[in-house]
Amino acid sequence: MKVGIIGGGAIGLLFAAYLGKKQDVTLFVKSPEQQDSINSMGIILRHPHTYETVMIKAVTDYENLSTNDLIIIAVKQYHLSALYETLKHIPADTPLLFLQNGIGHLTLLEKLPHLHLYVGTVEHGALRLAKNEVAHKGKGKTNVAIYRGSDQVLERLSQESIDFPVRVQPEYEIMLFEKLAVNAVINPLTAVLGVRNGRLIENEEFKSLAESVFDDITRLYPRFMHVIDFKDIITIAYKTRENTSSMLADLQAKRQTEIEAILGAMVDEAKRQNISLSIIPTLYKMVKGLDKEGRKG
C-alpha cells in the first residue's frame, strides 16, 4: 500500500518510520533541510535501548499526493486551516486519515468532499529529537474509526501494521471523546503546573483539580458518561507518570499549544449549551496566557 503522511513532527516521523518498514511511504514536510536529511540518512527510530534506521522518501511539495492509497494528516490541529485548499483538491476517492487531538477538526471534515474520511487517536509517546530522528517514548496503539465511507482501507492498514498496532473502532465520537477527556484533564493541568503526568495523582491538591476538570467534562457531555470515568484518567496518568505532556513540552519549547482544540472547543460548546463550567474556562485562559507569553518576540 502506498501511504502519504503530511507532517514532519514527532507523530509524522513515528508513523513514517513504522509504516515505512512494510509500506511504500512518502513523508510530506515543510523544510528542504528536513527533506534532505531524511532522504540521505533515513529516519532514525530510537527505542529505550536500541535504534533502527528506516529509509523512506521525503518531499516538500504536494504534487503527488493523489498517487497514494491513503493519506495520513499528522499535523497539529491549528495547521489544518492552512492545508484545507490542498486537501480539498485531492481526488474525492482518496481516503484521508486525520490524527489530531481534540474535536475541532471535525468542522473541517464536514467541508471536505471526500468519500472516505477517517479519524484516529494516538496512544504512543513520541519525541522528535532531530529533523530525521524520533524517540518512541511509550508504546501504545492507534485507534481509528470511520467518519464517512467504508472501512476497507482501515482494515488493510490494521492487518499490515503488526508491530505498530492499529485498531478499528466502531464509533468515532466515542473514540474521540475518550481521548479528549484524557487530554483535557492531563495536558492543561500539567502545562500550568509545570509537572510530569504522575504528579497529578501523587499530589492530592493536583488530583482534586484534575477531578474538577473531569466533572466539568461530564457536565458538558453527559451522553458520554459511560465511556470513561475518573478512575480511567488516574490509570492513564499512572501509566504515563514519567511522561511530559505534549502541552507542557510545547510551552517549554515556546511552541503554540493545542489548547484551542482541546479546552477551547469545550468553552465554545458550554456557551452554545448555556452551561456554566467551574474550572475549564479559567484553565483555558491560563494556558492561553502562558502560550502568548512564551512566544513573545
Place of cell 511539495: 61
- Max CA pair span of the chain: 55
Rg (CA), the chain: 19
Cβ atoms 40, 63 nearer than 8 A: no
DSSP letter assigned to residue 49 = S
Cβ atoms 39, 27 nearer than 8 A: no
Q: Among this protein's residues, is 179 annotated catalytic?
A: yes
Q: Are strands 2-6 and 142-148 parallel, antiparallel or unpaired?
A: unpaired
- Active site residue: 179, 207, 231, 296, which one? 179
List 98's β-bridge partners, or say none. Answer: 73, 119
Cβ atoms 136, 45 nearer than 8 A: yes
The Cα–Cα gap between 197 and 240 comes to 6
Q: Residue 273 to residues 3, 108, 161, 268: CA-CA distances in angstroms? A: 40, 21, 41, 9
DSSP letter assigned to residue 157 = H
Cβ atoms 68, 94 nearer than 8 A: yes
Q: Residue 156 to residues 16, 150, 151, 165, 176: CA-CA distances in angstroms? A: 17, 12, 9, 12, 21
Q: Which residues are catalytic?
A: 179
